[in-house]
Amino acid sequence: MFRPLKILIGTKCPPTRCCSAFVSRMRYVNRLKEDDEACAAALQNAHIFLFHRLSPLLQRTEHRTLRPTALRLGSDRTLLKESVLIGCSEENQAQFCLDVGKNILNPGSSLSWWPETLNDPSPYEPDLCFLLQGQALLRWNQTSGFCSTTGQPTHRNRAGSQRVCSSSGIIYYPKMSPVVIVLVSDGKRCLLGRQSSFPRGMYSALAGFCDMGETLEETLRREVAEEVGLEVHSVSYSSSQHWPFPHSSFMMAFHASVSPAHTQLNVDHAELEDARWFSLEEITSALQVKTPPRRGDPPVVWLPPKHAIGNRLITEWADRQRRWEEGE
Ligand SMILES: NC(=O)c1ccc[n+]([C@@H]2O[C@H](COP(=O)([O-])OP(=O)(O)OC[C@H]3O[C@@H](n4cnc5c(N)ncnc54)[C@H](O)[C@@H]3O)[C@@H](O)[C@H]2O)c1
Ligand SMILES: [Mg+2]
């Protein structure tokens, strides 16, 4: 099991009698974002998850699990001031993250840990979403030090949930790019594609960034048309996920269908190296491939790791298709 490194420094989410534990936690976190003093007080008794140059610090224990290690920050309150609020645990403990590596600003290298981590079958504690959230907030704070209108420095609030230009007063909030990911089916097969930048043999559902002013449904229909030349219908929502590549994408996942009479692909090779229809049997065996093939191994199709929303879409389709075929 993976556990991120964290340090415990000393006010908890106050218990309330008037509303549910969830409601009081959400209101508490919202107050910490708005009220610098309350946030500073919460930091005194918070769990601080440690990152180094945007990679979470994780340690494997002798039981092949990962356990947090307490780091001594001593009297270095400057470092603590750089902590960023992530949320509040079910035990009512405020949670922050802190990057103990300085001056990163090398976006490519800072993400190099993700492919390995995403492929690791060990469970995470807390879950991966939490680490993705911490990493994205740290990254946004580290890369948003100046106002894009005046060029003057921006200053963060205590929680690190907003930054204000010292000259114009413009307020900046953490930014993410909405992306649609869609698994298209013709009733018997599903459609996967690969970009030339993907690791060898990996295929995933089609994805694309939302253009300004588009609805999610419009993005989905446009991306499928652009990338493989098909028109989809019967769109249904599945789930969503934050994704660190390339800079904090907000992935919204859908299933969609095409008519079995219109499945001829016309792949745009500027966008995709390949796209193909896969049968349930092919998907079932691709889902069994747990580690990416190494150099020199025979070619094999494999799918995004289980923590990726693309994997979830494909698994949902395979489960549904299996039930449908067995019921026939
Ligand atoms: N989590 C998953 O399972 C999963 C699976 C597949 C793709 N993805 C992610 O989905 C994202 C989008 O997929 P894609 O690359 O096919 O998108 P895409 O088809 O829209 O093509 C990418 C291109 O779109 C342009 N673009 C437009 N808006 C952009 C923005 N806000 N940020 C960056 N580029 C922008 C750029 O020219 C870029 O090269 C990728 O970041 C990828 O990592 C995640
Ligand atoms: Mg795409």
Pocket of ligand 1 (CB under 6 A): 177, 179, 181, 204, 207-209, 223, 243, 245-246, 249, 251, 271, 304, 308-310
The token pair at 249 is: 């994408």
Cα(227) to centroid of ligand 1, in Å? 12
CB 288 within 8 Å of CB 281: no
Q: Alpha carbon 243 to chain centroid distance? A: 3
This complex has an ipTM of 0.95
The secondary structure of 239-301 as a DSSP string is EEEEE-TTT-EEEEEEEEE--TT-------TTT-SEEEEE-HHHHHHHHH--SPPPTTSPP--
Identify which of 128, 179, 317 to mutate to test ligand 1's pocket (most ligand atoms within 8 A of the CB).
179
Biggest alpha carbon distance in the chain? 70
| Closest-CA residue to 128 (of 243, 250, 240, 273) | 243
Digitized pLDDT (tens) for each residue of the chain, 328 residues in all: 556 666 555 456 666 667 899 999 999 999 999 999 999 888 887 888 888 888 888 766 666 555 444 344 444 566 678 899 999 988 888 888 888 886 444 444 444 444 455 555 454 445 567 788 888 999 999 999 999 999 999 999 999 999 999 999 999 999 999 999 999 999 999 999 999 999 999 999 999 999 999 999 999 999 999 999 999 999 999 999 999 878 899 999 999 999 999 999 999 999 999 999 999 999 999 999 988 888 888 889 999 988 899 999 999 999 999 999 988 6
Give the ligand 1 atom nearest the CA of 210: 28
Q: Residue 58 in 3-state DSSP?
A: strand
